[in-house]
A and B are shown apart, each in its own frame.
Chain A
Amino acid sequence: MTTLSAPATTRRRRAKAPGGAAGLWTATPMTRLVLAVTIIISAFPLYYMIVIASRTNTEATDMPPPFLPGGKLGENIQRVLSNPDAHYLTGLTNSLIIAATVTVSVVLISTFAGFAFARLNFRGGKVLLLLVLLTMMVPLQQMGIVPLYRLMVSLEWVGSIKAVILPYLLNGFGVFLMTQYTQQAVPNELVEAARVDGASTLRIWWNVVLPAVRPGMAVLGINTFMLIWNDFMWPLIVLTPDNPTVQVAINSLNAKYGTDYVLIFSGTLMSILPLIVVFIAFGRQIIGGLMEGAVKA
């Protein structure tokens, strides 16, 4: 049946709408060119990072600039790691701890709340959900920065990664995403059926909801990890240079060794490696999640 219908639709498509349907237009040479140029532009700064990070400073400031990697990468990385002002390894470890802790917590908190909003009827639920949507519009990072800092001062948490982790746990987007995802992935009938069978709410969450929303959790997790890994303003305020995140460590290098390009570039290169790993491992999910999230919003 499939073998029969497939050519039939193709024929119909050709006859009725030559290249008419979205997504079914074939790419023209022009399209290919546009995409190829885009990919080159996308990749170039990353490639250039490798080029400079593997050179010496005299080569980095050559005219014309170098465009091929050199052989000094190992040496430069060694210099970053042993730099007394950057505390690079501490920064890397801190960033990993912060991003991992926040990711796990945000995914759990959002999955709980998403389940409640999507599949449990409770008084005030609609208003509470609306509140989440409203707060997504508020740039809390900029708006709350002074009181949050003073809160951390009075708790004597300044300089500790606790001060970075806790405010990040508030993530309205996560609740929104998991509500949407649960609505789509968990049929109401399934929850009702489990209820009739005598399952408690927690049991329904564990046995019915959790297995179904796992892809959504993955998407949220990847997003959160990248967001937290990259964030810069809050750690810059609340941490000290001797106990930094990786972005703050790069900033220290940048501020103190502004002309030591290879040093800064090597530090920067190492800081994006974890993200590249995530990107290669979960590329398909990242794209799928972005596209789904966009259509539902």
Chain B
Amino acid sequence: MSLHVDAGQPTRAPMPPSRRHVRPRPGRSFMTWLDLKAAPYLLVSPYYLLFLVFGLFPLGFTLYYSFFDYDLTGTVEWTGLGNYTAMLGDAAFWKAVVNTLAMFVIATVPQMLLALLLANALNKRMKAQLFVRLGVLLPLVTSVVAVAVVFTQLYGRDWGVVNWVLGWFGADPIDWKAERLPSWLAIATMIDWRWTGYNAIIFLAGMQTIPKDLYEAASIDGASRRRQFWQITIPMLRPTMIFVVLNSTIGGLTLFSEPTTFYNGNVHGGTNSQFQTVSMFIFEQGFREFDYGYASAAAWLLFLLILIGSAINFLLIRRIGGNK
């Protein structure tokens, strides 16, 4: 902002944004300036350079592309909001949205409850504590593709273990990939298998920060352990729950690897797109149909979906405990 020039101040480096606050040490002013004023910016600059190139630039261009119509012949045409209005009337897009939301809910609700119960179990005095925790966390080391490969086999129609077990109870073999609900359930179990233990460990960390006097006071008042869990543990766990639920919301709404691998690496999500997610839809539009504009518009709508989903979940969690 200011244009004043200090005598003897070398101008080899760009001016710092806050020169007025340079500590008055006239002797070795440049080195001091470099060390005290410029160093913090130099230290954070690698991150922001990367952010500029691989964060801000793609985000901006996604918005820009979304106003254009690309077709396979290579013609590019301005359509304004055309991609967005077309998408709002596109049954395939809405199907992907419904699939994504359904799998998210089917996976997340039981997962949160199970993770809470598991965390409560882990929060007790026991032998081989580290072994037990590692055992619970074991699924996390499996790559998503590996999980999906194994579960796809387990859910096989003809030779899958799941159908074999269901057969004991007289159930007919289920074609897990063919229909919406069975495929959603199969994919939801893949997600839950991988993430429940992880979330339980996070909840456990939250539980261990709850002051023990609260429980002592409650037991003196004669509150049962169950009551303590619902009236102390759950409300006190609110910050951790917000963290876990927001994480799951972002992860769940951007679901890609499990359903893709479930259909042998195809992003169409089954014969009728019965388990195609929004991320797969973006991939299909952008890199199978090469309609970059449509894919970009879908990406922005996905972002909107995540914002709405996060806001709803945030408010939901805030109410837990707020009322108690």
Contacts and interface: CB of A to CB of B under 8 A. Distances in A.
A272 B40 contact: no
Interface string B28-63: 000000011101110110111011011101111110
Given A52-B153, A137-B250, A295-B209, A169 B54 contact: yes
A202 to B, nearest CB: 7
Given A25-B123, A201-B36, A268 B150 contact: yes
A120 B43 CA distance: 10
A61 B158 contact: yes
A86 to B, nearest CB: 12
B198 interface: yes
Contacts of A250: 145-146, 149
A297 B245 CA distance: 13
A275 B139 CA distance: 11
B159 interface: yes
Nearest to B240: A294
Contacts of A120: 39-40, 43
A17 B216 CA distance: 5
B110 to A, nearest CB: 13
Contact of B58 (A52, A61, A140, A201): A140
Given A122-B40, A146-B292, A278 B141 contact: yes
Nearest to B118: A38
Contacts of B146: 49, 250, 268-269, 271-272
A200 B279 CA distance: 47
Contact of B39 (A149, A201, A272): A201
Contacts of A32: 126
Interface stretch (A186-194, A212-220, A228-236): A228-236
B7 to A, nearest CB: 24
A144 B208 contact: no
Nearest to B143: A230
Given A22-B210, A125-B40, A230-B144, A112 B46 contact: yes
B206 interface: yes
Contact of B161 (A28, A35, A65, A230): A65
Given A124-B17, A137-B310, A201-B35, A63 B286 contact: no
Interface in B145-172: 145-147, 149-151, 153-154, 158-161, 164
Contacts of B150: 45-46, 48-49, 265, 268
Contacts of B225: 19, 25
B122 A35 contact: yes
Nearest to B20: A123
A142 B302 contact: yes
Nearest to B198: A290
Contact of A38 (B62, B126, B136, B142): B136
B204 interface: yes
Given A16-B220, A27-B125, A48 B39 contact: no
A166 interface: yes
B62 A116 contact: no
B50 A272 contact: no
A261 interface: yes
A68 interface: no
Given A144-B58, A230-B144, A291 B154 contact: no
A64 B160 CA distance: 9
A224 interface: no
A166 B275 CA distance: 31
Given A34-B118, A39-B136, A63-B164, A23 B57 contact: no
B303 interface: yes
20 contacts: A23-B207, A60-B153, A62-B159, A63-B159, A64-B164, A109-B50, A113-B43, A128-B48, A143-B59, A144-B58, A146-B65, A146-B286, A146-B296, A169-B54, A230-B143, A251-B265, A254-B149, A268-B149, A271-B146, A291-B208
Interface of B: 17-18, 21, 35-37, 39-41, 43-44, 46-48, 50-51, 53-55, 57-62, 65, 117-118, 121-126, 130, 132-147, 149-151, 153-154, 158-161, 164, 193, 197-198, 201-202, 204-210, 212, 215-216, 218-220, 225, 233, 240, 243-244, 246, 250, 253-254, 256-257, 260-261, 264-266, 279, 282-283, 286-287, 292, 295-296, 299-300, 302-303, 306, 310
Given A45-B150, A120-B40, 9 more contacts: A21-B215, A23-B208, A49-B146, A65-B161, A139-B250, A200-B39, A201-B43, A290-B202, A292-B205
